[in-house]
Amino acid sequence: MEGVIDHHMRDILTRIGGYHHCVTEFVRVTDKLLPGHIFHRICPELEHASQTSSGTPVTIQLLGGVAEAMAENAQLAVELGATSIDINFGCPSKFVNRKAGGAVLLKEPERIFKITEAVRKAVPRDLPVSAKIRLGYESTELALENALAVETANASFITVHARTKVDGYKHPARWEWFGRIDAALSIPMVANGDINSVDDFLRCREISGCQDFMLGRGAVAQPDLARQITAATQTQNIATPMHWNEITGLIMELGKAMKMQTRPQIDAIKILGRLKQWLVYLKRQYPEAAELFTAFRHAKDFSQADELLQLKHD
């Protein structure tokens, strides 16, 4: 989730709890070896044993269509401290797809195999290499072939988002495909797509038979969703969702963390835009977020937004 799940958001969400590991925004690879500072910018956790402040492992995700360049950059990431690598074959962005990266590669299972194999060979055997795919580009015709290409390339596991590229995020996730793909594979499979509540999780688990799941937009809309799911599965109780007052505290925390960032420094307008972005997600679960978003529209800088947040928080 480029521009959404950065290191600040990863830190906040993993401190709330419920996650076994998390994945960075993608590092875009063309045909060259990237400078090290790119990896550190996207994954500052490299300086802390590739973990968030709560100790949650962080995986670096690479996106690109040139096998040799992907392998070289994976090797560099490991040299810089990465403890696991994920390959993005699922991004539906038109810009990314035009650059031969992301979901467009789902049209070519052989390229998926070659890229995954090249990265796997470049990374020490004891470090996990995984890949994330969608069900296909325009149709699900190659879903199994693409998944098997990842497995044949000796990936450690695979994550499947249950939509095609053309589906985008509008078409309901096709959870019925999870069981079919999982049954065809010998490596572990992680299910992803439309898990926005504990009930969604329980229904997805029942339909798919899967044991491992990834949260995306649902985690941003409900910051304690992973903790709620963990409570439901381990104790068969539903954890009390975070109250709006707690959520405003998290929004304040994100703004202050971004304001303190120095490499690179973020200007006040961008911070304000980022807080508005989070409020758009939060509106799905918290009606109060809509009111605060409206108030933010009149704010000119972060200090005004901080004052509004403080009023809502107190």
Annotated catalytic residues are 91
Residue among 261, 242, 258 at smallest CA distance from 305:
258
Contact 159, 146 (CB under 8 A): no
Half-sphere exposure of 51 (CA within 13 A, CB side): 9
**Eight-class DSSP state of 30:** -
Contact 85, 120 (CB under 8 A): no
**Cis amide leading into 188 (omega within 30):** no
Q: What secondary structure does DSSP assign to 98-155, as a single string?
A: HTT-GGGGGG-HHHHHHHHHHHHHHS-TTS-EEEEEEEESSSSTTHHHHHHHHHHTT-
d(CA 284, CA 184): 35
User: Which tokens belong to 285?
Assistant: 């679960």
User: Which tokens belong to 114?
Assistant: 């070659």
Listed in sequence order, the residues at least 6 apart from 12 whose beta carbon sits closer than 8 Å to its beta carbon are 223, 250, 253, 254
Q: What secondary structure does DSSP assign to 261-273, as a single string?
A: -BTTB--HHHHHH
* Helix, strand, coil percent content, the chain, rounded in steps of 5: 50, 15, 35
d(CA 93, CA 152): 27
d(CA 162, CA 191): 8
Distance set, CA 34 to CA 1, 41, 115, 204 (Å): 21, 12, 17, 39
